[in-house]
């Protein structure tokens, strides 16, 4: 029995996290080849603050919660999979003095990472537009300016994703990403969750977080253009424009979330056009998994499967109780 599901997931280090409206499960391949299954607290702030169930706001809240929970799951998978070696107590004592230094370095690294993101995705596109204006000795309309900026952002993002995909460990994460998508497709088709059935499914899913990132970039074109049309002079003040772009991020996230929900629920010409860029990029962010990875994905989905799996699990009918996209 084919069904719509709001189950989503995230590829981890040697594992997969799956989230349904009822629970969040984590399945990880351990060093001894067994599969460890555990559960995460899937408390939803949108259940506590009803205002956050409204369109756009629910997307912002969901995005923040997904980031926090995803980071926690990634750390757990790293430990369970043996990716991070556990040190002996005596070694910990010897290195205790270095702990604060490591924490300081991590904080500095985070700050520098944010600064680099601002430079690459906000300042660099603006400088590129200014350079083109000088080169062609002409001014651009707000639509052209926004389009050039977002095209450059998209190019930088794609190059970055492609570059990291060449790393061995990241490639394995992308293979687990493919296993996650294939397993969800198998479940949505109402097929029995077996390695053979999952293996035959597609690895490109319209509700993927990759599609969400692409949608955010495309939606930014619209918001940036509208602001420039309403306030033409704001673009000429570089620092002010950067601040506005930063403040727009939550709104763009919320709008992207709403659009992604539509693409995951309906299959028509409009949703196919909207989903196309994200599905294309998934050729980089998802790889064909091996059978052992599919086994992990199956265990993760079974662990979070709703009590009544054959009922329509539409996020609209579930009133946003779960099912966050990866």
Which range has highest mean pLDDT (155-164, 177-186, 213-222, 301-310)? 177-186
CA nearest neighbour of 163 among 296, 3, 285:
285
Q: How far apart are CA 77 and CA 16, in angstroms?
A: 8
Q: How far apart are CA 36 and CA 77, in angstroms?
A: 10
Per-residue model confidence as pLDDT tens digits over 259-286: 877 776 777 888 788 778 888 889 999 9
Exposed e or buried b per residue across 187-220, where buried means at least 16 C-beta atoms within 10 angstroms of its C-beta: bbeebebebebbeebebbbbbbbbbbbbbbbbbb
For position 319, what pLDDT does the model report?
38
Sign of CA pseudo-dihedral 23, 71, 274, 219:
positive
Query: What are the φ/ψ torsions at residue 8 (nearest 5 degrees)?
Result: -135, 175
For position 59, what pLDDT does the model report?
73
Q: What separation in angstroms does the CA of 8 have from each of 137, 209, 315?
A: 49, 10, 11
Q: What separation in angstroms does the CA of 268 have from each of 30, 44, 66, 275, 279?
A: 42, 31, 28, 10, 15
* pLDDT over 90, % of the chain: 23
For position 172, what pLDDT does the model report?
94
Which residue has better confidence, 92 or 241?
Answer: 241
H helices of 119-208, in order, are 124-136, 142-165, 168-188, 195-199
Per-residue model confidence as pLDDT tens digits over 116-165: 666 676 777 878 888 888 888 888 887 788 788 878 888 888 888 899 88
Of 11-15, 32-36, 210-214, 292-296, the one with minimum mean pLDDT is 210-214
The residues with which 7 forms a beta bridge, in sequence order, are none
Categorize the per-residue pLDDT at 84 as very low, low, confident or very high, splitting at 50, 70 and 90.
low
**Residue 232 DSSP symbol:** G
CA nearest neighbour of 320 among 131, 57, 64:
57
Q: How far apart are CA 227 and CA 143, in angstroms?
A: 11
**Residue 233 DSSP symbol:** G
All residues at 6 or more sequence positions from 238 whose CB lies less than 8 Å from its CB, including other chains: 123, 126
Residues in the chain: 326
Q: How far is CA 300 from the centre of its chain?
A: 18
Q: How far is CA 254 from the centre of its chain?
A: 13
Query: What are the φ/ψ torsions at residue 7 (nearest 5 degrees)?
Result: -65, 130
For position 215, what pLDDT does the model report?
78
Which residue has better confidence, 234 or 199?
Answer: 199
For position 110, what pLDDT does the model report?
62
Contact 300, 36 (CB under 8 A): no
Contact 180, 172 (CB under 8 A): no
Residue with tokens 């989903």: 275
**CA angle centred on 54, ends 62 and 180, rounded to 5°:** 30
């Amino acid at each position: 029995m084919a069904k719509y599901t709001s189950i989503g997931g995230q590829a981890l280090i040697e594992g997969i996290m799956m989230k349904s409206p009822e629970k969040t499960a984590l399945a990880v391949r351990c060093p001894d080849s067994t599969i460890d299954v555990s559960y995460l607290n899937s408390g939803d702030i949108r259940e506590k603050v009803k205002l956050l169930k409204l369109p756009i706001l629910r997307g912002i809240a969901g995005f923040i919660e997904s980031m926090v929970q995803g980071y926690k799951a990634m750390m757990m998978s790293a430990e369970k999979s043996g990716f991070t070696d556990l040190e002996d107590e005596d070694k910990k004592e010897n290195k205790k003095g270095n702990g604060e230094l490591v924490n300081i370095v991590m904080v500095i690294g985070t700050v520098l990472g944010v600064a680099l993101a601002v430079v690459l995705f906000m300042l660099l596109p603006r400088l590129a537009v200014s350079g083109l204006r000088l080169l062609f000795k002409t001014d651009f309309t707000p639509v052209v300016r926004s389009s050039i900026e977002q095209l450059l952002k998209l190019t930088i993002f794609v190059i970055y994703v492609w570059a990291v995909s060449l790393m061995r460990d990241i490639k394995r994460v992308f293979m687990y990403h493919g296993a996650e998508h294939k397993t969800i497709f198998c479940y949505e088709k109402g097929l029995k969750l077996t390695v053979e059935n999952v293996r035959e499914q597609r690895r490109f899913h319209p509700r993927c977080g990759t599609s969400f990132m692409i949608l955010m970039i495309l939606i930014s074109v619209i918001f940036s253009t509208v602001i420039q049309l309403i306030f033409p002079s704001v673009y000429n003040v570089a620092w002010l424009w950067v601040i506005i772009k930063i403040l727009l991020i939550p709104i763009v996230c919320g709008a992207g979330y709403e659009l992604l929900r539509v693409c995951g629920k309906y299959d028509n010409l409009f949703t196919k056009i909207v989903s196309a860029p994200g599905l294309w990029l998934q050729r980089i962010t998802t790889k064909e998994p091996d059978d052992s990875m599919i086994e992990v994905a199956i265990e993760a989905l079974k662990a979070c499967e709703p009590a009544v799996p054959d009922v329509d699990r539409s996020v609209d009918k579930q009133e946003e109780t779960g099912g966050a996209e990866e």
